[in-house]
Structures are given as C-alpha cells and as structure tokens.
Amino acid sequence: MARQTRVSNANMMTFAERLGRFSWAMFIPMCLVLAISILVLYSAGGGAWRPFALSQLTKIALGFIVFFFAAFTNIKTWVKSAYAIYAIALIMIVLVTFVGHTGMGAQRWLNLGIFHVQPSELIKIALVLALARYFAWLNSVELTQLKNYAIPVAMLLVPFILIVAQPDLGTALSLGMITVGIFYIVGAQKKWFIIAAVLGLMAAPIVWFAGLHDYQRDRIITFINPDHDAQGAGYQINQAKIAFGSGGMLGKGYMSGTQSQQSFLPEKQTDFIFTMLGEEFGFLGAFTLLGLYTFIIIILFWCAKTCRNRFGQLVCFGFMLNFFIYYFINISMVLGLMPTVGVPLPLMSFGGSSLLSLMFGFGLCQNAHIHKDQQLSAKGS
C-alpha cells in the first residue's frame, strides 16, 4: 500500500526512484544500434570521420539530451502538452509548404539557419502522442462509436495530405499505418477496416493516374519489373541487390565493399545503409541488426503491456508500431520486396530529424515505463 501511495503521485517520486525504474533493456540495444550506425557511416565516408560519422555523432549527442529530457520529465507534462506538440509539428509542416527548403527534388525541410529540420519526422511521434491523449480516456462504449473517430481521422488526414504534396509518399503511408494500428489496438470495429480497405482499392485507379508523380509510378513499375529501366528508375534497387547479395555469409570485410566504396550504390549513408551493412558484414551482420530491432520491439511491447495507465500503454504501442514500420519498409525496399520509398533505417541512416524524433519517442516510452503505476486523469492531473 505504501509503495502504491508513493508511485501514485509523480511529484513525490525522486530522481533516484525514477532512475531505479529505468529500462536498461530498452536503452542498451538502442545504444548498440547507434554504435553500429557510426561504424557503417565511418566506412561510408571512405574510412574518415567526415562527412558522415562525426556529424552523426554530434546529432546522437543531441539526441541523448532529448531522450533523457523526455524520459525523466513528469509524465503529466506529456499528457497536458500532447495536443500542443501535435499542433507545433503540424504548423511546421504547413510552413514547409510555403517556405520549405527543397532537396533531392522534394520540398520537405525547414531551414532554421544552423541546420535543416524535416517536420514530417516529428509529426510521427506527435501524432502518436495526440492519439494516445485522445483515446486514453474513452470508455469501451465510446470506442465502438464511429463518431468518436472523426477527430483522429482528421488528425491523420491533414498532415497526410500536406506530406503527400511535398512529395513524401513513404512518410505519409507510414502515418496512415501507425494510425490504423492504433485504431485496431483501441478496439475499433473490424468492419470499419474492411470498408476502408474496399474504398482504398476502389480509389486505386484514381490515385495511380491523378495522385502519383511520374517517378513514383516508375518506381512501382520497376518493382514489378526490375529490368524495366535498369539504368534509370531500376538502378538503385539493382545495385542494392548486387551489393547485399555479394556480401554472402560473413561479408567482404569492413570498408571493403566494392559496390559501396566505389560509389555504385546510391544513398549508401541514408536509405540504403542496410545494403552497405550487408555487403561488408554479410548475412551475419544484417541478422545481428535485425536481432537488435526485434529485441527492441519485444521490450516496447512488454513496456506497453505492463503499463497500468492507458496513456502510457498507447504511447508505447504507437511508438512500437512507428519503429517497426520504419525498419520493415526500409529493409523490404532495399531488398526489392517493396517499391522504393524515402524511409530511413531507424537509428542507422545518416540525418538528424529522424534520429532526434526516434530518440524522443524512446524517451517517451522510458517515461511511460518509469511511471507505469502512475494514475492519470484526462487533464493530466
């Protein structure tokens, strides 16, 4: 009883008590993946700290600040600010539409002077927070009423449409899958998913002819027929398959990958970093990374299941979905199992926006675990 009284009020929990509840099982594999990323990025730079590894180390250091801040802040703060964080992320996406920085043919970044930020990465975590805040205090009857899903659908559709227009179809689809997953977790009726799937199939021809850019259609055609444009749209995926397949069981050796070191493999430091890992470290290296990812998913699932407040449960489940979708799409893409889309490999790909957003998400899950016995109200009190 004394313990329950102590943990029922987060203001009474000391920092030492919060640290004692810290999940090292979540933290250590996260750090191991980050270490592997620096190892591979050093190789991607030709055996030099610049231009990738040193820059990424700086971003990781900033990421740890974000992580620990998110982990040890009073959980009530995240309940109260969930909608505000979503609104800020949404405003940033709107700003991208008007004053965004264009790179690689897409307008996805905001220029903040000393660095560029990609708001579409932040909205993934912000949407999870906002949906967790919305659904956490609906009862079982309310969760079966279609009208109560109007606001969450609007939360998805507004950033979804804006992100598709950037264009960034991969991130937009990720948002959709995360939202559908959360709807399923909270208990939305299964017939709604069937109806949505049927409507989606009916809309497919319209999307194909009117909603996709030429290069996006080329990517889908190339996925179906990789030899359709071997020197154009199919070049990336063909080189990725050659690089990954040539790694064999143990790989060609660190900094000895021919496709990556001789620049045959495009975007080896970002979207195709898994291919570079496979070429240099082989199936064993790739399997090790997949093992770490799988362990992280298991820990996030366990944290969600053991959390006694609904808000923390949904944050953990939502971020678990986000993390899984990240690496499932990326790895499927580079192995030719899905069309090419711009989705980074979590904690591995070079870049700051994705890394900081993910470490913020990990921090929120740590927070939910630390406060797993905390009783919360809809007002965050």
Average pLDDT over the chain reads 87
Q: What is the pLDDT of residue 345?
A: 93
Least confident among 11-15, 49-53, 65-69, 254-258: 11-15
Q: What is the pLDDT of residue 379?
A: 63
CB 104 within 8 A of CB 166: no
Distance between CA atoms of residues 105 and 372, nearest Å: 44
Of 311 and 206, the structure prediction assigns the larger pLDDT to 311
The answer to whether the Cα torsion of 352, 329, 239, 164 is positive or negative is negative
pLDDT tens per residue, range 155-203: 999 999 998 888 788 888 899 999 999 999 998 888 988 988 898 888 8
pLDDT tens per residue, range 350-371: 988 899 999 999 999 999 999 9
pLDDT tens per residue, range 91-148: 999 988 887 666 555 667 777 767 778 888 999 999 999 999 999 999 989 998 999 9
Q: What is the pLDDT of residue 232?
A: 61
Residues facing 117 on adjacent strands? 110
pLDDT tens per residue, range 94-103: 988 887 666 5
What is the rounded average pLDDT of the residues 62-83? 95
3-class DSSP assignment, residue 210: helix
Q: What is the pLDDT of residue 338?
A: 83
Q: How much of the chain, in percent, has pLDDT values that exceed 90?
A: 51
pLDDT tens per residue, range 24-48: 999 999 999 999 999 999 999 888 9
150 — pLDDT class (breaks 50, 70, 90): very high
CB 129 within 8 A of CB 364: yes
What are the start-end ranges of the E strands in the chain?
101-103, 106-111, 116-117
Q: How far is CA 343 from CA 267, 294, 334, in A?
A: 12, 18, 10
Distance between CA atoms of residues 315 and 367, nearest Å: 10
pLDDT tens per residue, range 260-308: 777 777 778 888 899 999 999 999 999 999 999 999 999 999 999 999 9
State the maximum Cα–Cα separation within the chain, in Å, rounded to a whole number.
69
Q: What is the pLDDT of residue 27?
A: 97
Residue ranges per structural domain of the chain: 23-369
What is the rounded average pLDDT of the residues 195-212? 81
